[in-house]
Structure 1
Amino acid sequence: MKIKTLKKLVLILPVLALTACHADLDQDPIDPDSFTETNVFSTPEEAKGALAKLYASFSLTGQEGPAGDADISGIDEGTSQYTRMLFSLNELTTDHAVVGWGDPGLPNLHAMNWGASNDFTTGMYYRLAQEVSFTNSFIDKAGNLEGTEAENYIAEARFLRAFAYYNLLDLYGNVPLTKEVSTSLPEQASRKEIFDFVEAELLEIQDDLMESRANEYGRVDRVAAWALLSKLYLNAESWIDTDMYKESLDYSKMVINSTYSINTNDANENGSAYDELFLADNDSNGAQNEFIFAINFDGNQSRTYGGTTFLVHAAIGGSMPASEFGVNGGWGGLRTTKALVHKFDYAVTATDADGDPVEWADGRAMFYTDGQELEINTIANTFTDGYAVTKFKNVDHEGNPGSDEGGNFVDTDLPLIRLAEIYLNYAEVVAREKGGDVATAVGYINELRERAFGDTSGNITASDFNFEFVKDERSRELYWEGQRRTDLIRYDEFTTASYLWPFKGGSKNGTAVEPFRDLFPLPSNIISINPNLTQNTGY
């Protein structure tokens, strides 16, 4: 398993030892020598090391790894990792996942009764605040450098800042907008102002980013800016009450026409290339051709108890053989609800004695059923209630385990934006009758389904294509990738009674909750520190 370039840079540059305990979005890194023109920004080559820290802030949690010198205080270090918290806020709150652990604030997520002091909603705000602070400092200092290379680095830093604000926009709505390092308490910006900032940044930097797939693996190019614009515009009606589906369609087409491609390698046993996207060698097995923006992990060089280490270990329990997943054991926590399992009912090929599905023709139905109950009667401490998910593994396409010989930490990279999602963005706009071509959308969906089935048996026709189908297809293709809450809000199904799943709202059969829960609260201590801020409605 090769060590990715950015991971090397983070490890060999002690000058980048940053710590942050943010009270707001405008805080300086605590270490006054972290970003200085004399030692980090003297040349573009040195600045590249600082850029690596901006990427690493999304994958790592501190300076020692996997624990011991955290970037963020007040929360378990492994829990504070960005993609682990993204899973907690955008998947555990939905039909896609439950977790049996009783950590303070964690059971409240699926029950949808969190408060303003919830550790997870607070921790994510701080993690994103850290990224904004780091990128602001980088952009300021790197501005003294000259040349195309330095311009590329600044554009990448601005993309990462825009991505952080995209998350803040989605999760919290009205937040402070800080574009430079400052010691003053910031004013609160409206959700529309945050939206406009993200849009303007991405439009402005797109030509300064490198051409499609011309950058190193793990770093973004201009297609990432187009893809994030596609996502931003797709949610515009939900977030700022403005129909921008045409713009989403336009940028989706730009992404689709780039040099990224759907992974269709058939190197695994069941003939489906879908699972290769989530294996330990997904940086080299062909999956990387589909990854527009991914967070890189390495079991030896970038250790964390978040990331895919969390997704693999936490999803193993019951009678599941951990060795088949390339790790030394399971944490017995994550399962899914029958609502997700039933999305694949059209592809069931075998059932158990109770009539529950146990095998599917659709290779995306990656569930472990042996000893597991489809129905969830008890979430806490009962791993066998609910099917387990086998989507993420720490083995390569030949079955070899990842690089950590102890089996603790995982090599599998995690895509945050991949081409398949943009296919589905295009299809959703068409299904909403906001533009595009039905035949083209059907073609994109069939390309994904041919990969999933290994042949054309799962293909659809134009008569099968509609909005409800596309909604379910997004769930089937993208589950556990940090997308679901955002999608359900866009469909007006997250808090309403129009779609229920087990234990939604804390009820076994599911119930509607207050609509203000479409947004998470700003951390209560942030509100107490900064009188310029107003808490989100309902909290």
Structure 2
Amino acid sequence: MKKILGLKILIVATLLFGSCTNLDQEFYDRVTPETFFKSEKDIKAALYRPFTHARWYLGEDRWNLQEYTADQFAITTKGRHWYNGGENERYHYHRWTPDDNWIWGTWRGTLMGVALALDAKQDLEKLDYTKFALTQADKDDHVNQLNTLIAFFYLRGLDYFGGLPIFESLDAESLPRNTDKETFAHIEKLLKEAILKLPKKKAGDKEEGAFRQAGAAALLARLYFNAEAYVGQPMFAECKKLCQDILAHQYGDYSLDATWYGPHSFTNDRSPEIIWSIPSEFNKLQYDWFFNPFYHYNTTKYLDIDGGPWNGAHLTPSKKPTGEWYVEYKLGSPFRKYNDLDLRKRPYKYLGGGRYEGMFIFGPHLTPSGAVINGGEEYKDQPLVFVDQVGRFSEVGPGKRYASISELPSRMADGEENTGVRPVKVPIPNNTDKSLRWGADNPAIRLTEIQYMLAECLLREGDKGGAAALINEVRKRNFENGTDPDPVTADNLDDYRMLDEWGIEFLAEGRRRTDLIRWKKFTTESWWDHQPSDNHYNRFPVPTQAISGNNNLAQNDGY
């Protein structure tokens, strides 16, 4: 009987991620594309399946490894909640091990993504598209979308782990890891070939999840942008050229959105800034994984919605328990980094009809009508007020654990139910407009990233003025009448200001660890309740579960 590894992987993925509930199907020992594909609909179903995996992959464990290990986010222990066996502290303090679940989920999800895309690609390559009233151009588009998706998964895996097993067929088993440079070269080759055959976006086209030329070019720019961390060879000049070409419309028609919320709104499929996104729609592959971890149990009253959030994650604090700023750290304190006049720094408020303002939950928690929302843990039957601090304030006072606020420690172990500012990067409508919920697509690649990459390349060349102009072109949309009270200048732009600008614009977009590593600050710098760690933590270990299933896999140094 012919072994079809792709079919095995597809069945395993279905069982793991719940895309199919009919498990009573009859499977044959030989399935070929020529007999399976009956219509264009079948072709598109095969093409889209790996993209649904990418939708899952962009959140959860992969996001966790990028953000909770860095300086902008934390999941503090809140009384009896969220200690989780010390897992959250291990990531914050850089003490993770090969046995940690987020790492295993990311390794497995990366290679499964490659396998799913490769499986679909191999099937589609065998088809005569003319039998489906399709053209060779259609076939080239589909195959190279999958090549780009394979490169995307390998690029993310290279970022997390270094070299990965490279496979271009699903027949091989127990492959060893290729080197960092071999993995890098494989990604580069896939993307360079895809760019030549993918179509360009035209003005007015909606972004509905397909890769076009600019998407492949942007991924190639990312590869070069971080090449020094990946293979020890700076390639900022190569990144610069790609970014300039993308901005010059050589790979399609894109422009910056006029508003800060345009790339994130319910209609962001029409934003001219989106280069690649993952579509989302209420009850249809909705982009919502972050809702439960970020928000308090009673935030449903604040938002006037249904649901059951878990009250875990928040921004790292800008203030000490005493109210003083954390001036000793150049990194972290993300809420403070937003200028007070920044339109995003207002409390999130849904205005109806798909309109909203602000990007954060902080301060007194009130219903839309202004009624006080009480807590349910430390502040049970007391008004809930979210603070940009971490400390057990409920334990201060006569006869309590701490005599005064000045005695309060501020650590991962010291959270409360109201600890931390909560971001609302993805808008949430109220129950009146429930049909809009999760209608905002996940903007996986934005033109702003291209502009900021180019700015950083110019900064590294010494052209601070040119870099500042590119950043300020984006910043001005965040202020009334485009008047920025704290623009970037040649005098104030350095590596820390550049990191601040990345952190402000791309807060919660799952990239912070990579940016810190590129600037050699991920393991060398301090931020709130975090001290420098060993250099080997720039990469995650190969998970124990992966090695136990394939003893040809070599472990990363230091683990």
Report the counterpart of residue 314 of structure 2 in structure 1.
335
CA RMSD of aligned residues (A): 3.3
Tell me: CA distance 1:359–1:34, structure 2 relative to 1, closer, same or farther (3 Å): farther
| Per-residue deviation, residues 16-65 of structure 1 (Å, max 9, x unmatched) | 97433999xxxxxx9778974045445554211111101111224xxxxx
Contact 2:332 2:528 in 1 (8 A): no
The answer to whether residue 141 in structure 2 is matched with residue 127 in structure 1 is no
Query: Which residue in the other structure is 2:532 paired with?
Result: 512
Aligned residues of 1:173 and 1:519 also touching (Cα < 8 A): yes
Q: Tell me how far apart the structure 2 counterparts of residues 413 and 118 of structure 1 sit (CA, whole Å).
A: 30
Residue 493 in 1 paired to residue 482 in 2? no
Per the alignment, residue 302 of structure 1 pairs with 285
Residue 166 (structure 1) shift: 0.2
Structure 1: 4+ residue segments shifted above 6 A: 30-35, 357-360
After TM superposition, list the pairs within 5 Å mapping 1:316-465 onto structure 2: 316-317=295-296, 320=299, 322=301, 324=303, 328-337=307-316, 338=318, 340-341=332-333, 344-345=336-337, 347-348=339-340, 366-370=360-364, 371-376=385-390, 377=410, 379=412, 382-395=416-429, 401-403=433-435, 410-433=438-461, 438-454=464-480, 455-458=482-485, 459-465=487-493
Q: How far apart in 2 are the matches of 1:289 and 1:520?
A: 36
Distance 2:167 2:48 in 1: 21
Q: Name the amino acid aligned to 1:530.
A: N
- CA-to-aligned-CA distance 1:271-327 (integer Å, 9 cap, x gap): xx223433333224xxx3211122222221225xxxx42323322217645553755
Kept after mapping to 2: 8 A contact 1:402/1:410: no
Number of aligned residue pairs: give it.
461
Amino acid at match of 2:484: S
Partners in 2 of 1:467 and 1:342 — Cα distance? Answer: 16
SS at match of 1:294: strand
Q: What is the SS of the residue equivalent to 1:432?
A: helix
**1:43 to 1:319, Cα distance in 2 relative to 1, 3 A:** closer
Partner-residue secondary structure (3-state), 1:347: coil
Are residue 522 (structure 1) and residue 523 (structure 2) matched? no
- Structure 1's unaligned 5+ residue stretches are 1-15, 24-29, 61-80, 265-272, 351-356, 504-509
Give the superposition deviation at 1:334. Answer: 1.2
How has the CA–CA distance of structure 1 residues 358 and 207 changed in structure 2, closer, same or farther, with 3 Å as cutoff?
closer
1:93 counterpart (52, 66, 69) = 69
Give the counterpart of 2:269 among 277, 280, 283: 283
Pairing 1:208-219 to 2, within 5 Å after superposition: 208-213=197-202, 217-219=208-210
SS in 2 for 1:463: coil
Corresponding residue for residue 19 of structure 1: 12
**Cα displacement (A) at 1:477:** 0.6
Name the SS of the counterpart of 1:174 in structure 2.
Answer: coil
Could you tell me which runs of 5 or more consecutive residues in structure 2 were left unpaired when the two chains were aligned: 1-8, 17-25, 77-81, 130-135, 319-330, 349-356, 365-384, 391-409
Calculate percent identity across the aligned residue pairs.
Answer: 24
1-structure distance, mates of 2:234, 2:542: 27
Q: Please name the residue that 1:72 is paired with.
A: none
Shift of 1:262: 1.3
TM-score normalised by structure 1 residue count: 0.78
Q: Summarize deviations over 1:229-283 as a string: whole Å, max 9, x none.
A: 111111011211112100000111122222111111xxxxxxxx22343333322
TM-score, with structure 2 as normaliser: 0.75
Query: Is the contact between residue 40 and residue 50 of structure 1 (CA under 8 Å) also seen in structure 2?
Result: no
Give the direction of change, closer, same or farther, for the CA distance of 1:219–1:400 in structure 2 (3 Å limit): farther
Which of 1 and 2 has greater Rg? 2
Q: 1:196 to 1:91 in 2, by over 3 A?
A: same
1:359, CA displacement in angstroms?
A: 8.3
The Cα of 1:471 is off from its aligned counterpart by 1.7
Matches of 1:300 and 1:525, distance apart in 2: 33
